[in-house]
């Protein structure tokens, strides 16, 4: 039996956490030692990430971690964050400008330009990545002629940037690199030819790294500042994990068979399956399904559905107006509202940028001639039903395009707490939902580290079996046969007799 203590740094669009885990072949526990806000800042009209505040949050978290270790060494650190965004490094290694938020408007209309240069079909066939306005390739093209890119020597995705600041190591972890839309989906090497054709210097793209590789060790001044000095004098390694948070979340899905789908539900709902080979067909492109790189050479074949962003942005809108709502109470009130009364396409591009979410949802309902939700509880019901319907559309398209059977859907991440959404997803998809773990991302992060550091968890199946044995899951049976209401369908008459609460 080998036991390792490792820290997971997991930063999402709303907040970051540092978690401390103890992992062995038959044990997995995780505690949150530090949480910090991730607050985007608009400067000069552009929405930025406050990446130094995030780094400070990581250092604070590592300091707290040191306090929890009781003199035991920390065996490793793994970092995952959201995808696509990057910092630029100048020739002396310093940051050139502040990283820009993927929801900033600078990429408006750019993906069409990129498609016009390369051809949408060729772009998909080479990279396998769905057309999303904020893909790194579009961000780089948007700033192609700007001074920042002229001054830059390297582009580092956010987890790689944090790793660089902690260790000095330069690289691009492959699961996250795939979301740039500059990685070849088949060879998993940078597509330098594609970059060149789009006027992006391939030299910006750092050497690729794979989950499980030791990236580097903490700088002496980081050890001193955090108090993480190993009592045995050894270095503290930073280990590559699925540094795209969704890649780590998929590792943490407690599946016990191949015929499963997952919904990694946080800011986004990432709805997909795990494949061995990418699907690069025109039908797949038309369905806007993506082939992101997964851990151990797997393919995350999935679609981005708008996710809990819609709820969070609604709560923020109401709070800005002085109306404070408690999400748990709102979800309970939403559960009492009729299902399917306010059909809305949650994936409509107008819902992507920050702003007044309830007003934009109401505008969409007016456009499609469906009833507008009026109270906050109705808005929440509308969002939950719309997300469940978005999950169904993705699962149906994936079934159709892969020929895969989906017997169970695992909802992991924060959304697993939302019983109304889990039940609505089971009802819409017509298959059971298993909710949990909420911490799938951090669990996937620590499991990949533990394996790299000697714990005998040879493959994803072994890691998932350990998650299944150690984490609590909740089962939601579909109330009715599969339903397929489109955005304009009539309200569904039947619901589960279980009254879900938040």
Query: 177 or 228, CB closer to ligand LFR?
Result: 177
Query: 329 or 350, CB closer to ligand LFR?
Result: 350
Q: How many CB atoms lie within 10 A of CB 117?
A: 14
The yes-or-no answer on residue 245 being catalytic is: yes
Query: 237 or 413, CB closer to ligand LFR?
Result: 413
Least CB distance to ligand LFR at residue 160 (A): 14
SS3 per residue for 440-483: HHHHHHHHHHHHHCCCCCCCHHHHHHHHHHHCCCEEECCCCCCC
Least CB distance to ligand LFR at residue 302 (A): 8
Query: 270 or 380, CB closer to ligand LFR?
Result: 270
Q: What is the full DSSP assignment across 174-196?
A: HHHHGGGT-B-TTT-SB-HHHHH
Least CB distance to ligand LFR at residue 266 (A): 6
| Residue 295, both tokens | 């851990």
Cα distances from 366 to residues 2, 178, 344, 371, in angstroms, run 60, 38, 10, 7
Query: 143 or 245, CB closer to ligand LFR?
Result: 245
φ/ψ bin of 454: left (φ > 0), alpha (ψ from -120 to 50), beta (otherwise)? left
Least CB distance to ligand LFR at residue 489 (A): 28
Mention every residue, 6+ apart, whose C-beta is less than 8 A from residue 179.
83, 84, 129, 135, 136, 244, 292
Least CB distance to ligand LFR at residue 15 (A): 12
Least CB distance to ligand LFR at residue 193 (A): 25
- CA pair distance 179, 418, nearest whole angstrom: 28
Query: 270 or 395, CB closer to ligand LFR?
Result: 270
Q: Which of 85, 245, 345, 347 is catalytic?
A: 245
Spatial contact of 475 and 434, defined as CB atoms under 8 Å apart? yes
- CA pair distance 404, 395, nearest whole angstrom: 10
Binding site residues, ligand LFR, CB under 6 A: 12, 82-84, 102, 244-246, 266-268, 270, 304
- CA pair distance 111, 13, nearest whole angstrom: 22
Which residues belong to the active site? 245
């Amino acid at each position: 039996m080998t036991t390792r203590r490792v820290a997971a740094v997991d930063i999402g669009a709303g907040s970051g956490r540092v978690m401390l885990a103890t992992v062995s072949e038959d044990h997995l526990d995780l505690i949150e030692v530090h949480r910090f806000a991730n607050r985007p800042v608009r400067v000069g009209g552009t929405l930025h990430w406050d990446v130094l505040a995030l780094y400070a949050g990581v250092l604070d978290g590592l300091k707290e971690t040191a306090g929890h270790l009781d003199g035991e060494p920390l065996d490793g650190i793994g970092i995952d964050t959201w995808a696509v965004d990057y910092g630029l490094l100048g020739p002396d290694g310093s940051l050139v400008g502040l990283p820009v938020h993927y929801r900033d408007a600078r990429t408006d209309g750019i993906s069409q330009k990129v498609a016009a240069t390369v051809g949408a079909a060729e772009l998909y066939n080479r990279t396998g990545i769905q057309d999303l306005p904020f893909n790194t390739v579009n961000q780089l093209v948007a700033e192609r002629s700007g001074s920042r890119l002229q001054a830059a020597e390297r582009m580092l995705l956010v987890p790689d940037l944090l790793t660089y600041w902690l260790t000095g190591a330069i690289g691009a972890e492959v699961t996250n690199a795939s979301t740039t839309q500059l990685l070849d989906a088949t060879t998993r090497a940078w597509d330098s030819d594609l970059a060149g054709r789009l006027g992006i210097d391939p030299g910006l793209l750092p050497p690729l790294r794979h989950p499980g590789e030791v990236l580097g060790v903490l700088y002496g001044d980081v050890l001193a500042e955090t108090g993480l000095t190993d009592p045995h004098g050894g270095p503290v390694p930073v280990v590559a994990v699925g540094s795209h948070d969704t890649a780590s979340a998929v590792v943490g899905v407690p599946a016990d068979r191949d015929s499963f789908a997952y919904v990694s539900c946080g800011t986004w709902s990432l709805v997909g399956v795990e494949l061995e080979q990418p699907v690069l067909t025109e039908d797949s492109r038309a369905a806007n399904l993506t082939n992101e790189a997964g851990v151990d050479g797997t393919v995350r074949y999935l679609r981005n559905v708008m996710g809990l962003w819609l709820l969070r942005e609604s709560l923020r809108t109401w709070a800005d107006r002085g109306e404070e709502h408690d999400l748990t109470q709102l979800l309970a009130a939403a559960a009492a509202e009729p299902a399917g009364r306010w059909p809305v396409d949650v994936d409509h591009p107008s819902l992507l940028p920050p702003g007044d979410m309830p007003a934009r949802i109401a505008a969409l309902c007016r456009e499609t001639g469906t009833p507008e939700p009026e109270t906050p509880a109705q808005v929440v019901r509308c969002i939950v039903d719309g997300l469940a319907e978005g999950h169904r559309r993705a699962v149906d398209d994936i079934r159709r395009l892969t020929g895969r059977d989906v017997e169970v859907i695992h909802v992991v991440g924060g959304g697993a707490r939302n019983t109304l959404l889990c039940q609505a997803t089971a009802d819409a998809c017509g298959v059971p939902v298993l909710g949990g773990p909420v911490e799938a991302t951090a669990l996937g992060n620590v499991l990949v580290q533990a394996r790299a550091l000697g714990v005998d968890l040879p493959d994803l199946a072994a890691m998932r079996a350990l998650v299944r044995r150690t984490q609590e899951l909740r089962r939601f049976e579909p109330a009715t046969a599969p339903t397929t209401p489109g955005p304009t369908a009539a309200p569904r008459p039947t619901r589960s007799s279980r009254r879900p609460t938040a």
